[in-house]
Amino acid sequence: MADFQEQLRQYRQQKQRKDLLTRIKTKAKRFWMLGTGADITQGKSETTIDIKESGLIYETIDENVASSEDDELLPQDNRTNANANEESKCLKYTLWTVYLLFWVTLYVIAIELKFGVVFLMFSALFGIYFNTRTGPRKPSEISAYSVFNKNCESIDGTLKAEQFEREIRYGSGSVR
């Protein structure tokens, strides 16, 4: 029994260290992202472990599914996370508003200097560059352009010439 207690104590210490490291990483990401970008907790769920006399009971609470009606049923940590997400959204929109006002100010200055069209063109080019992915794609990810995929596979929903020709010749109900 003492061995089990020692293992449980070690597990709890390891879990606490892992949770602390996760919280530090989350705070660092939020600091560096300044409230912009995707939600860093997206798709993750919080797992709590309740210890009863009869043994361990595992309970999973998904923050993304919980609605505002369920706030009374959720633990205090989840309510604070929901408030933090709302504050993060507010910060994100405020930051984007400041960016927009800064851009408009620079654009007005550029117009006064007879440089408005050039500023607008460079802004469009920067917007296009920073809103497209410039890094390599994942090995399992397929491209929307079938010529870049292995065996020229196309994504679902693509109208291919062969399919179009079959539908014109035999109707859309035939399968060959």
- In this structure, is the dihedral angle defined by the CA atoms of residues 144, 141, 130 and 26, taken in order, positive or negative? positive
Tell me the CA end-to-end span of the chain in Å, nearest whole number: 67
Q: Which positions ≥6 away from 96 have C-beta within 8 Å?
A: 36
In the chain the beta strands, taken as DSSP E runs, fall at 46-52, 55-61
Confidence of residue 173 (pLDDT cuts 50, 70, 90): low
Count Cβ neighbours within 10 Å for each residue of 41-64 and write b for 16 or more, e otherwise.
beeeeeeeeeeeeeeeeeeebebe
The helix/strand/coil state of 105 is: helix
Per-residue pLDDT tens over the stretch 89-144: 888 899 999 999 999 999 999 999 999 999 999 999 999 988 887 778 787 777 77
Whole-prediction pTM value? Answer: 0.39
Residue 85 Cα distances to 95, 97, 111, angstroms = 15, 18, 39
Q: How far apart are CA 36 and CA 96, in angstroms?
A: 8
The helix/strand/coil state of 52 is: strand
Q: How far apart are CA 105 and CA 39, in angstroms?
A: 29
**Alpha carbon 125 to chain centroid distance?**
25
Per-residue pLDDT tens over the stretch 47-102: 445 444 444 444 444 444 444 444 444 455 555 666 777 778 888 899 999 999 99
**158 close to 146: Cβ distance less than 8 angstroms:** yes
Instruction: Check residue 118 and give its pLDDT.
Output: 96
**45 close to 61: Cβ distance less than 8 angstroms:** yes
